[in-house]
Amino acid sequence: MPTAELPGAALPYEITGPPDGEPLVMVMGTGASGRAWHLHQVPALAAAGFRTITFDARGVAGTAPCPDGITIEDLVGDVAGLIGLLGTGSAHVVGTSLGARVTQELALTRPELVRSAVALAAHARLDPVQRAHTEGEIALIDAGVELPARYRAAVEAVLNLAPATLADARTANDWLDVLEFAAGRAGPGLRAQLAVSETLGDRRDAYRDIRVPLLVVGFAQDRVIPPALSREVADVVPGAVHAEIADAGHYGYLEQPEQVNRLIVDFLLSNRRRVQCASSRSDT
C-alpha cells in the first residue's frame, strides 16, 4: 500500500475505481482503518463510477503515534493533502463519526476542495453523555487500564450496534468475534484522536456558513452519536439534505450497507447532474 507523505504525517492510502472516475475521499471514524470502507462502500462507489481514496488517519495503528497530539486542523489538512494527491483540484468527501466532523470542517474552511460532502453520524457537538464517555476513554488510556478483550468487545457491541443487529444470537456472536479480534492496545494515537472530539466544542453556529452541498445521515439507534445530533447539523447547514436509517447503530454503514450506499450514490449523482446543468446553462 502506498504512503502519502504529508506535513507531519505519513498516511497509508489506497485508490480504487476507474482512473477517469470522479474523485472521492473517504474519512473513517475514531481509531478505525480506512479499510473498513472496502467491505461495502468502496465496491458500490466504484461500480457507480467513482474513484475512491481511502486512508488510515493520524493516530490509527501503523501511522505515527502522535505523541504531541492531533488537532482538527491536522486532520482537515491531511484530507486536503490527499485531494491534492488525486490531482483533480477538488473531490467529493464522505466521512463517518469523527470523519464526519473532519468532512464538515473541510467543507467550512476549504470549500474550493469539496464538490459535495456526506456526513454519516454527523454532529456539531457532543452532548453530556458522549463527552463523559470520551473523557472516560481518555482516562482509561492515561491510567494504563486494559479491559479484557471479550468484555471490551461486548461494550463496543452495545455502544455501536443496533438492538436489531444483536437480536440474533449467531449475528451477535459473529460481531463479538470480530470486535474481539480487532481490539488492539489503546495507545497515544487513539488518545490523540479522542482528544480531538473532546476539544472541538459546539460548532453549530460555525456550520451555518457551510455552502457545500451536504448530505447528513443519522442512524436511528446510534448510542455514540444519537440521531438528534445529526439532525442539528442538517438544521443549521443551508440546503443540507437529511436522512435517517432505521435499525442501525453507530456502525450503520456496516449494518445497513445497501441503504447507506444508495443514499450516498444517489446524492453524489444528483449533485453531478446539478453541476452539469449549471455548466450547460452558463455555456448557452
Burial class (CB in 10 A: 0-12, 13-18, 19+), 184: exposed
Closest alpha carbon to 100 in 122, 116, 67, 78: 122
- Distance (Å, whole) CA 55 – CA 64: 14
For the chain, the distance separating the N- and C-terminal CA atoms, rounded to the nearest angstrom, is: 45
Cα separations in angstroms, 70 against 12, 22, 120, 193? 17, 30, 22, 7
H or E stretch at 114:
strand 114-120
Beta-carbon contacts of 194 under 8 Å, excluding residues fewer than 6 positions away, are 30, 134, 137, 138, 141
Burial class (CB in 10 A: 0-12, 13-18, 19+), 161: buried
Residue with cell string 469539496:
114
Q: Coil, helix or strand for 34?
A: helix
Cα 208 to the center of its chain, rounded Å: 20
| Contact yes or no for 165/247 (Cβ under 8 A) | yes
Catalytic residues: 97, 222, 250
Record the cell numbers describing residue 149, joined without a space.
478483550
Cα separations in angstroms, 255 against 65, 93, 157, 165, 172? 30, 21, 12, 7, 12
